[in-house]
Structure 1
Amino acid sequence: MISTSMGHLLSGAERGWVWSSVCAGTPRCPRPPGGVIMNQKPQKRRGIRMLLTPRHELERRIGRLQEWLQEQGLDGALLHSTTSLLYFTGSAQQGHLWVPAAGEVRYLVRRVLDRARRESALDHVEPLTSLRALPDHLGGARRIGMELDRLPVAQFEVYRRYLPDVAAVDVGPVLRRLRAVKSPWEVERIRTAAKAADETYRALFAALREGMTELELSVVGESAQRLAGAQGMIRWHAHNAFETPPMIVLAGESALAFSFADVPFGGLGLTPAAPYGASRRVIRRDEPVCVDYPTVVDGYVHDQTRTMVIGQLPPTLVRAYETCREILEGVAAAARPGVTGEALWELSVAIAREAGLEEHFMGWGDSRMRFVGHGVGLELDEWPILAPKQTTPLEAGNVIAVEPKFFFPRLGAVGLESTFVVTPGGAERLSITPEELGVKDA
């Protein structure tokens, strides 16, 4: 699979940290022993600490994929998506990954080779200047897996032209199933993102004031999020879903401005060209202010929603928020290996119905969503999904964001979302931000 020789990145990658700089390894900036810069001040450009995916993680992931390839009688898998490259190589540099059913993998890089070699713990990181050279790397494979679920038809035809004797099978679903079960190392990455999300919420709550706009509050949150270590980019699996902001701030009836994305919150946005998220609407007293913000650190997503108010909410919304907390606790208590996403959805609906709030749950009117949670990882919309017809049992290592929300015409919405990891004993909360309603100047 992967040989034991790591070369110049061994010690850094094994510990998870590596020396990285625009001038790393040059005579002006010699590489330190082990590839690690310690106690380097952030403002100095001579050394920047970056977290790498350790070798044992890549071996585990590739090994699981190779087992599946052998079970299916496939000769290998040719992967191209950024998410798959990051997951299996530790680098997002443009290229392809060839994973044979048995033997050593090859990361074939179009751009940028030097960075890919610094970032990946794989032994074989090689240039690929043209797709014409692909057959040379496939070792005579005739039946391979490809990510057909995220490959445009026109691009697939290009592959067919250069690989005329190769039959392709869609491995997209199995890749999502593999990524849905997180390792302890991955869970720690999401814990780190949860800390950044908590810092972000503290900045949002401190800045919240009557008369500011949704946009102004969103800018405060986005800045705090980046300074806390968030990468600012959110990866989605869904087609054509990448044009969403890193933060949604919705005040009052803005929460009823549903939009294109398959999520409960939309928002007016600033223009029809970006009909989503914060607008220039002014925030007023005694109305809900919802903030929904995936926080991505070192590639891994932590998802969170909190509701705040300046003053006090109407009793209807207070009751709805307490029902959000009841649903969150109920789903978390029931989320354990063997339980299905469908069962957790039905549980959430039953609690909403018992509270007399079913018609307000996860939307309003024709814009109601039929899910109460989703997986998170390298992508925001990972498996499992807590929704009807989702009959695949949860597994230990699944990480789920549970997000009950209620919507009321003329009043707005209240919502709560926290992230959990499924363990053999039940769901463990990864989010650390308090889940009480954030009340300011009551």
Structure 2
Amino acid sequence: MFKRVWKLAGSLEGSGLDAILVLQPENRLYLSGFTGSSGALLVTGEKAYLITDFRYLEQAKEQSPHLEIVRMQETLPDTLAAMQEKTDLRSLGFEADYINFKLYRTLQEKLAGVELRPVEGIIERFRLVKDSAELAAIQRSMALLDEGFAHICGYIKPGMSESEIGLELEMFLRRRGAQGTAFPFIIASGPRASLPHGVASERTIRPGDVITMDFGVVLDFYNSDMTRTVALGKPPDKIKEIYDIVLEAQMAGLAAVKAGVPACAVDKAARDVIESRGYGDYFGHSTGHGVGLAVHEGPRLSSRDDTVLQEGMVVTVEPGVYLPGVGGVRIEDSVVVERGGCRLLTHSPKDKLIHL
């Protein structure tokens, strides 16, 4: 944590900023190790402060010994105003995509003579490449998903609702140690599988249904993400056809992931397969995204992101084909970018459409 904070402090040199205010929860956690729900970081070129209220003072001292702990006054703007002279604050950067207009106006009023300047992506760029401790936490989170998939495949029976399946999967994963879910689980069956984000409904599973399950958990504050598509009995021939196409596209995407390759090249590798089979219009989302303290973070494996992949990044590869009225297929794995390729973090079977 100490190195991360001073890396940010070092970035202030030549920026024209005296300090950066950090409020975005994942950024705050990344820099401080503080897990409380209320707090802000003020990082100057010489010192870093964690501002929090009475409820979290003891916790903050334990979790963030590398920071000076400041007890919040009535409000954060009031506290910053009281610190203004001590920190010689004249120009303050803030997270442009997180602070709302009301807080911005209040900061303007309270911090007389301080220039407020929006900054974007500074801390997020630090977070792109994971260190060994982060990778270990992500690996543990991902391993739970493989256990969950094996369990739920033995649980699904005709007549169950999507919601019932989603609840069982969540409870199993929580019993295995998950802190929570990374997002509302997507359990989409039959024709509903054409909904890329079809969260679990009360629809009952029937013989012949395809079932797409996209799920992830939080463990040690790091997220995981995986998708598998299975069938209950014999699915329609069209589903079997697009499953093979999506699998081929996903394998092409995985083969393209390696350090030095732009993110958009991975998207193109997967997308080219689907387009060549005539289903390009039915694959309307990006091929993947970064995973870490947030389940969706940079880089994006899309045609619009030319970020060069680096060793230690964690990304998903998740092409899909979605046919209205018929169903859909998505296959997703999370991987670590390495020098000559990538390393799978999720290992559940996918080489052929599983029939439950």
- TM-score bucket (shorter structure): over 0.9
User: Structure 1 residues 194 and 438, CA, compared in 2 at 3 Å: closer, same or farther?
Assistant: farther
Tell me if structure 2 keeps the 8 A contact 1:61–1:88. Answer: yes
Q: RMSD of aligned C-alpha atoms?
A: 1.8
Tell me if structure 2 keeps the 8 A contact 1:307–1:437. Answer: no
Tell me if structure 1 keeps the 8 A contact 2:240–2:353. Answer: no
Tell me if structure 1 keeps the 8 A contact 2:181–2:216. Answer: no
Q: Distance in 1 between matches of 2:181 and 2:79?
A: 32
Q: Which runs of 5+ in 1 are unaligned?
A: 1-57, 235-243, 258-264, 268-276, 362-367
SS for the counterpart of 1:278 is coil
User: Structure 1 residues 220 and 404, CA, compared in 2 at 3 Å: closer, same or farther?
Assistant: same
Tell me if structure 1 keeps the 8 A contact 2:243–2:353. Answer: no
Tell whether 2:351 aligns with 1:436. yes
Q: Distance in 2 between matches of 1:389 and 1:315?
A: 34
Q: Which residue, out of 192, 202, 207, partners 1:254? A: 192
Structure-to-structure mapping, 1:222-261, within 5 angstroms: 222-234=170-182, 245=184, 247-257=185-195
The alpha-carbon deviation at position 71 of structure 1 amounts to: 4.1
Q: Which residue, out of 409, 413, 430, partners 2:324? A: 409
Look up the match of 2:239.
317
Q: Distance in 2 between matches of 1:176 and 1:149?
A: 12
Tell whether 2:129 aligns with 1:186. no
Q: Distance in 1 between matches of 2:327 and 2:290?
A: 26
Look up the match of 1:420.
335
Q: Which runs of 5+ in 2 are unaligned?
A: none
The alpha-carbon deviation at position 436 of structure 1 amounts to: 3.4
AA partner of residue 205 (structure 2): I
SS for the counterpart of 2:180 is coil
The alpha-carbon deviation at position 427 of structure 1 amounts to: 1.5
Look up the match of 2:298.
383
Q: Render the CA deviation track for 1:204-236: whole Å, top value 9, x for unaligned.
A: 1111111111011111011012112222154xx
SS for the counterpart of 1:112 is helix
Q: Distance in 1 between matches of 2:107 and 2:238?
A: 57
Look up the match of 2:81.
135
Q: Distance in 2 between matches of 1:330 and 1:105?
A: 45
Structure-to-structure mapping, 1:140-151, within 5 angstroms: 140-151=88-99
Look up the match of 1:219.
167
Tell whether 2:110 aligns with 1:162. yes
Tell me if structure 2 keeps the 8 A contact 1:287–1:411. Answer: no
Look up the match of 1:266.
197
AA partner of residue 395 (structure 1): Q
Tell whether 2:251 aligns with 1:308. no
Look up the match of 1:95.
39
Tell me if structure 2 keeps the 8 A contact 1:306–1:437. Answer: no
Q: Whose RCO is larger (CA < 8 A, sep 6+)? A: 2
SS for the counterpart of 1:356 is coil
Look up the match of 1:73.
16
SS for the counterpart of 2:116 is strand
Look up the match of 1:398.
313
Look up the match of 1:84.
27
**Identity of matched residues, %:** 28
SS for the counterpart of 1:61 is helix
Q: Render the CA deviation track for 1:85-120: whole Å, top value 9, x for unaligned.
A: 21111113211111112x231111124222222333
Look up the match of 2:272.
350
Aligned length: 350
Structure-to-structure mapping, 1:6-21, within 5 angstroms: none
AA partner of residue 52 (structure 2): V
Of 429-438 and 206-215, deviating more is 429-438
Q: Distance in 2 between matches of 1:116 and 1:304?
A: 33
TM superposition score normalised by structure 2: 0.92
The alpha-carbon deviation at position 438 of structure 1 amounts to: 5.7
SS for the counterpart of 1:115 is helix
AA partner of residue 49 (structure 2): R
SS for the counterpart of 1:72 is coil
Q: Render the CA deviation track for 1:254-292: whole Å, top value 9, x for unaligned.
A: 1234xxxxxxx222xxxxxxxxx1111010112211110
Tell me if structure 1 keeps the 8 A contact 2:258–2:339. Answer: yes
Tell me if structure 2 keeps the 8 A contact 1:311–1:439. Answer: no
SS for the counterpart of 1:195 is helix
